């Protein structure tokens, strides 16, 4: 894997072993790319030193340097810690080296949500049938953009009004409910484009790229004149928040989103203004 760094021969051997272990553990291509990049920067920083002999003290000093000199954000530092930790624990089998290395507290960032009025504008200005269908499915089923582009024609079960999401985040399968209002549009889309394998195909017939889907959303946001810094993932956040505001049980939303931990889903309770406003003070009940 070429990432723009020149490493010593010994470090190149370490990188090769590292990447092999990641693949054997069946990590996703995105995670492998991220972890390899993080470890490569770690090895490059120490040049020809034998990092295999490092103690937790050397690693702590390096991480502190990343914070103070490189000005890495908390999330980026977490990513680097995870990558280095994998090397020492999974490749070198040094299980206890990270026991006393603290992690920085992550900032609490609330999900960006788009109002139903703005969503309506986005859909109205997106005239291209394929693009319109992509955006409506992202919002209508709360899908990640990676899940949308990975959908196959056979995954759509119009009889049961469900869509099979294969190997979503965490490599977990799940079903999402197909909005009734989208069934007719999906059929019209299929008649016009005749996709073979993937529901949304690129120009070469292969899977539609994540980047292309992101560009579709960005263009729609601009055309609808919505001045808000939000990515296509905001459609998924909006789906969850709007379900919560409609009174949907939080555990059901967790299942629909494919969240492993309920705490992840609970973030939407802090975003939903209607849910918070509905809470009455005990004084009002006297």
Contact 113, 139 (CB under 8 A): no
Tokens of 52: 């295999």
> Is 286 inside any structural domain?
no
> Is 104 inside any structural domain?
no
Does the structure show a pLDDT above 70 at 279?
Answer: no
Residues 162 and 253 in one domain: yes
Q: How far apart are CA 242 and CA 153, in angstroms?
A: 28
Query: Percent of the chain scored above 70 by pLDDT?
Result: 88
For residue range 113-144, list pLDDT tens digits in order.
899 999 999 999 999 999 999 999 999 999 99
> Is 241 inside any structural domain?
yes
- For tokens 């309770």, the residue is 269
Residues 31 and 147 in one domain: no
List of residues 6+ apart from 34 with CB closer than 8 A:
79, 83
pLDDT value, residue 216 = 96
Q: How far apart are CA 207 and CA 200, in angstroms?
A: 7
> Is 96 inside any structural domain?
no
Residues 143 and 79 in one domain: no
For residue range 209-268, list pLDDT tens digits in order.
999 999 999 999 999 999 888 999 999 999 888 888 888 888 888 888 888 777 777 777
Structural domain tally of the chain? Answer: 2
Range of the domain at 86: 9-91
> pLDDT averaged over the chain?
87
Q: What is the CATH number of the domain that holds 238?
A: 1.10.443.10
Catalytic residues: 144, 169, 233, 236, 259, 268
Contact 118, 224 (CB under 8 A): yes
Q: How far apart are CA 122 and CA 139, in angstroms?
A: 11
Q: What is the CATH number of the domain that holds 84?
A: 1.10.150.130
> Is 55 inside any structural domain?
yes
């Amino acid at each position: 894997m070429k990432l723009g760094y020149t490493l010593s021969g010994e470090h190149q051997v370490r990188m090769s072993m590292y990447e092999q272990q990641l693949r054997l553990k069946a990590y996703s291509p995105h995670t492998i790319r991220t972890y390899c990049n993080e470890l490569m920067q770690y090895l490059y920083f120490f040049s020809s030193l034998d990092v295999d002999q490092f103690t937790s003290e050397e690693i702590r000093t390096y991480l502190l340097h990343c914070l103070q000199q490189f000005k890495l954000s908390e999330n980026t530092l977490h990513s680097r810690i995870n990558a280095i930790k994998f090397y020492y624990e999974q490749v070198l089998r040094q299980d206890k080296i990270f026991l006393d290395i603290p992690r920085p507290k992550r900032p609490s960032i609330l999900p960006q949500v788009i109002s139903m009025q703005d969503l309506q504008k986005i859909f109205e200005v997106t005239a291209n049938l394929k693009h319109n269908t992509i955006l409506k499915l992202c919002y209508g089923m709360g899908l990640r953009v990676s899940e949308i582009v990975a959908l196959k024609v056979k995954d759509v079960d119009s009889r049961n009004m469900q869509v099979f999401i294969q190997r979503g985040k965490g490599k977990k399968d799940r079903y999402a409910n197909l909005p009734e209002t989208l069934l007719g549009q999906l059929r019209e889309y299929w008649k016009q484009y005749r996709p073979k394998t993937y529901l949304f195909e690129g120009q070469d017939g292969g899977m539609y790229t994540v980047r292309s889907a992101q560009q579709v959303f960005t263009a729609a946001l601009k055309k609808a004149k919505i001045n808000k810094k939000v990515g296509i993932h905001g459609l998924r956040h909006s789906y969850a928040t709007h379900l919560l505001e409609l009174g949907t049980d939080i555990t059901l939303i967790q299942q629909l989103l494919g969240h492993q931990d309920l705490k992840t889903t609970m973030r939407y309770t802090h975003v939903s203004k209607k849910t918070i406003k509905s809470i009455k003070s005990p004084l009002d009940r006297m």
